[in-house]
Amino acid sequence: MESGYVTTPFGRRPMSLGMLASQQLAETIEPGMKRSKWKLFRAICEARPALGVTDRALTVLDALLTFYPDDEISEEKGLIVFPSNAQLSLRARGMTPATLRRHLAVLVEAGLILRKDSPNGKRYARRDRAGAIGDAFGFSVAPLLARAVEIESLAAQAVADRELLRVTRERLTLCRRDISKLIMTALEEEISGDWEGISAMFRTLLARIPRVATAEELAPLLDEMGLLRAEVVNMLERRIKTQKIDVNESQSEHHKQNSNPDSIYELEPSFETKQGEKAAADNNPNAGPLEERRLKQQKPSVGMSNRAGGAADPGAGPNLKSFPLGLVLQACPSILDYGPGGSIGNWRDLMSAAVVVRSMLGVSPSAYEEACSGMGPENAATVIACILERGGHINSPGGYLRDLTRRTERGEFAIGPMLMALVRANGPTARQAS
């Protein structure tokens, strides 16, 4: 391009300061500078968002570069391409003339090409007698060569940003998975702590993650999730250390019996005995903890023996008469969906459904086994059905079941009022037993 040469667009197209700046920049090409046109084009594709061009505009630029005769762009070989609209449209995947003109204007505004219009607006080249091009009118790719270093730098930065975003997203995904499963473990193992508050904090962090985010937006969220994960891990590690201490003490003092009937063992079934059961166990010198538990189940509870005539009150202790199955299903219709084939026709079906629901609610096998031993399998299945029906109001189903089991053993809990309350809550349209 001639030094100090300024060209204005043909026809009604206006001149702009940006176009003038691009022409001035095109005059600053260092002598001998060369670039592979296709490598430079790939760099432009990488840096497309920073350059402010669309993918359709890059399709037009790709077509323009096919008209450049050599693989390397250099001043020695000329910087003007002059295809007709018909030829350019064919190489631009059949783009219509109007669309073609619009995307050519985008490339000019982005400072990637320049227009060098002829007096009549046509694109052509004048050749000398030897066939060499003397002057040409069309589109100049001089800005590509002048901005090659800038474009390559923008492309490298775009690649680095994309890699950083990928790594940040991976770390965030792993952190989310860790927190979710650690909280689930804590709830299943019934570890003490404000897990409801921690879960709420976790949900708040998840809600703040944008659908389309940059690495800079995700970095502070990753830091906060990392702190939350560290706190959850610390709470679980403290529980593990406490368990080790309890196991060591239990192994060194296993010959001692626990005389406190109100003590709580959250991880294993308890084997403590009441006064009457202690005497029965003392009569059998070979009776161990399992034998003591069997005697305890055979002995009516204190609350039961205090009733008139010793009549068994349904749902008030172990080995007691259960409520009618139809009443249980009327009070707890949700359990029907978990029965064999989606229905419950007998107590065996209800107990099978209770095992499925127990796992779904996160109740540990030891807690359910303790309930079956303390209440009887039918009543334990009934309580699981009630917990399922009231699931939205119970934060820790496993802890709640253990508490009901202990209250049953002390004669302080009856299933009847719970069933009647659910019958009233479900109303007359509740599903009936099949």
DSSP 32-52: T--EEHHHHHHHHHHTHHHHT
pLDDT the model gives residue 211: 86
DSSP 194: -
The label of the residue with tokens 């060209």 reads: 7
114-116 and 133-140 beta bridge pairing:
antiparallel
Q: How far apart are the C-alpha atoms of 135 and 130, rounded to whole Å?
A: 14
> Phi/psi of residue 314, each to 5°?
-55, 130
Better-scored residue on pLDDT, 18 or 398: 398
Structure confidence at residue 154 (pLDDT): 94
The residue type found at 271 is F
pLDDT higher than threshold 80 for residue 247: no
Q: DSSP states of 88-151 as a string?
A: HHHHTTT--HHHHHHHHHHHHHTTS-EEE--TTS--EEEE-TTS-EEEEEEEE-HHHHHTHHHH
pTM for the full predicted model: 0.47
Confidence band of 260 (pLDDT split at 50, 70, 90):
very low
Q: What is the CA radius of gyration of the chain?
A: 40
Least confident of 17-26, 211-220, 378-387: 17-26
Is residue 221 within 8 Å of residue 172, measured between CB atoms? yes
- pLDDT tens per residue across span 28-60: 777 778 899 999 999 999 999 999 899 999 999
* Mean pLDDT (whole number) for 223-232: 89
Distance CA 40, CA 55 (A): 16
Alpha helices in 208-274 (DSSP H): 215-252
Greater pLDDT, 393 or 264 = 393
- Region 318-325: mean pLDDT is 64
For residue 57, give the nearest of 69, 45, 68, 67 by alpha carbon.
45
What DSSP element (H or E) covers 177? helix 148-188
Could you tell me if 317 and 302 are in contact, meaning their C-beta atoms sit under 8 angstroms apart?
no
